[in-house]
């Protein structure tokens, strides 16, 4: 089966970064498969794109279920061919919690969806990409990939995804498949806005700790993902790229023992 150079699969495509990414690829002329467990919202996004003259379809997906992932892959491969790109943006968030107070069941669910779900989706489509000799996979990491965080299950998983990205890039590179990751900073998605509104995130802290003094927009992450899947990035694989408005460098700079007077 050959690669469909116009086909992109976006998990978690019903909202946030996934939705922005689905829209970005659709606007560039790609056929986009939006995969998400939120059937109502996912279908709405697909319908909006079709109404705007874009090529998009929705498929239900539960990343906690191997059977659901296998069903998606089978349907996509048989109906449309091998995707040029797979964007693993599906996942769940976690609020801050102490190690001794965390519900271990929450840790397990975060791992199951964010890490194992990404692995299984990558395997489901990556094998076909390797057989076809071409493809690009993007994983969603985070600032917690690089810095410790009290979001224990989330941060451990996101750190693991960086290693998964590097391993798959090394193994599948000789087959023509590139694997990269993006590590978005504090991105003003609907989920982030909801946490700000509920008092679970302090926007002033984000602004003070970011060099550019602002949040990242979902579109900015989507644009970067689009670039990494393009021919312009054909020599890039195994990279986890921060998109953080300078949060990582500012935190390190402001913590230095020597400061300008």
**90 occurs within a structural domain:** yes
The residue with greater pLDDT, 68 or 200, is 68
**43 occurs within a structural domain:** yes
Q: What is the CATH number of the domain that holds 148?
A: 3.40.50.720
Q: Is the pLDDT of residue 258 over 90?
A: no
**63 occurs within a structural domain:** yes
Give the residue numbers annotated as catalytic, written as ranges. 154
pLDDT for 2: 61
pLDDT for 5: 83
pLDDT for 1: 61
**139 occurs within a structural domain:** yes
Count of domains forming the chain: 1
Q: Is 203 exposed, middle or buried (0-12, 13-18, 19+ CB in 10 A)?
A: middle
**237 occurs within a structural domain:** yes
* Residue 60 lies in domain: 3-185+217-245
Q: Kindly list the distances between the CA atom of residue 227 and the CA atoms of 91, 234, 241, in Å, as whole numbers in the listed order.
A: 22, 10, 12
pLDDT for 190: 87
Q: How confident is the model at residue 234 (pLDDT cuts 50, 70, 90)?
A: very high
Alpha helices in 173-217 (DSSP H): 190-197, 203-209
**135 occurs within a structural domain:** yes
Query: Mean pLDDT in the chain?
Result: 95
**241 occurs within a structural domain:** yes
Mean pLDDT of 165-190: 96
**209 occurs within a structural domain:** no
């Amino acid at each position: 089966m050959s690669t469909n150079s116009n086909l992109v699969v976006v998990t978690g495509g019903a909202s946030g970064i996934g939705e922005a990414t689905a829209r970005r690829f659709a606007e560039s002329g790609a056929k986009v498969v939006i995969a998400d467990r939120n059937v109502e919202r996912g279908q709405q996004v697909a319908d909006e794109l079709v109404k705007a003259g874009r090529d998009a379809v929705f498929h239900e997906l539960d990343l906690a279920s191997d059977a659901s992932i296998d069903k998606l892959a089978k349907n996509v491969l048989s109906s449309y061919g091998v995707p040029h790109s797979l964007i693993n943006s599906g996942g769940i968030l976690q609020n801050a919690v102490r190690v001794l107070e965390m519900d271990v069941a929450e840790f397990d669910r975060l791992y199951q969806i964010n890490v194992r779900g990404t692995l299984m989706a990558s395997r489901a489509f990556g094998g076909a990409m390797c057989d076809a000799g071409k493809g690009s996979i993007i994983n969603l990491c985070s600032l917690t990939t690089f810095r410790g965080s009290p979001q224990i299950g989330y941060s451990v998983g996101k750190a693991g995804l960086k290693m998964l990205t590097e391993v798959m890039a090394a193994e599948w590179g000789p087959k023509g498949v590139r694997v990269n990751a993006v590590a978005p900073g504090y991105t003003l998605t609907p989920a982030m806005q909801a946490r700000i509104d509920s008092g679970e995130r302090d926007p002033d802290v984000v602004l003070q700790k970011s060099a550019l003094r602002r949040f990242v927009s979902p579109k900015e992450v989507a644009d970067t993902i689009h670039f990494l899947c393009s021919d312009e990035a054909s020599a890039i694989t195994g990279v986890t790229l921060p998109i953080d408005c300078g949060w990582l460098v500012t935190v390190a700079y402001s913590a230095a023992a020597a400061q300008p007077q």
